[in-house]
Amino acid sequence: MPNLKFTIVNLVVCLLATTYAVSSTWGNISNSAQLLHAEQVFNASSPEKYVTHEIKYPKNGIGNGRIITGIRAFDQVTNGTGGHATIYSGGPGFNFVNIKLQSQYNYGLIFRVEIYGK
């Protein structure tokens, strides 16, 4: 049944695509939360490479006393070629965060990252 096989392959491709166009939220973003930092990331694709982009808040690495309550990373690529975001230090409950954005192989990154606090 070649049709069934085709359908299954399509399904798997769809699931992979969904997995890799990921917007993430960490912590809580209440109505009263203040936007501490917003950053628009655009990195063009690079042939045969994963493009990565690191976001550090605050920029100088020194905490500014504001506690982060929530973080949002919006993947603005909606056709399945987007990347994903990972927090690898700090985050909600801390006064700093390091976030890594990584593209898919051969593709670029378009993200908007928002950091909220109180």
Ligand X SMILES: *[C@@H]1O[C@H](CO)[C@@H](O)[C@H](O)[C@H]1NC(C)=O
Which residues form the interface with ligand X (CB under 6 A)?
27-28, 43, 51, 53, 69, 77, 79, 81, 92, 110
Find all residues with CB under 8 Å of 1, minimum gap 6, and list them.
none
- What is the closest distance, in whole angstroms, from the C-beta atom of residue 2 to ligand X in the complex? 25
What stretch of H or E contains 17?
helix 2-19
- What is the closest distance, in whole angstroms, from the C-beta atom of residue 5 to ligand X in the complex? 24
Among residues 10 and 28, whose Cβ is nearest to ligand X? 28
Among residues 36 and 51, whose Cβ is nearest to ligand X? 51
Among residues 64 and 93, whose Cβ is nearest to ligand X? 93
- What is the closest distance, in whole angstroms, from the C-beta atom of residue 52 to ligand X in the complex? 6
Phi–psi pair at 63, nearest 5 degrees = -60, 145
Among residues 4 and 115, whose Cβ is nearest to ligand X? 115
How many helical (H) and strand (E) elements, i.e. helices and strands, does the chain have? Answer: 1, 7
Find all residues with CB under 8 Å of 35, minimum gap 6, and list them.
114, 115, 116
- What is the closest distance, in whole angstroms, from the C-beta atom of residue 109 to ligand X in the complex? 8
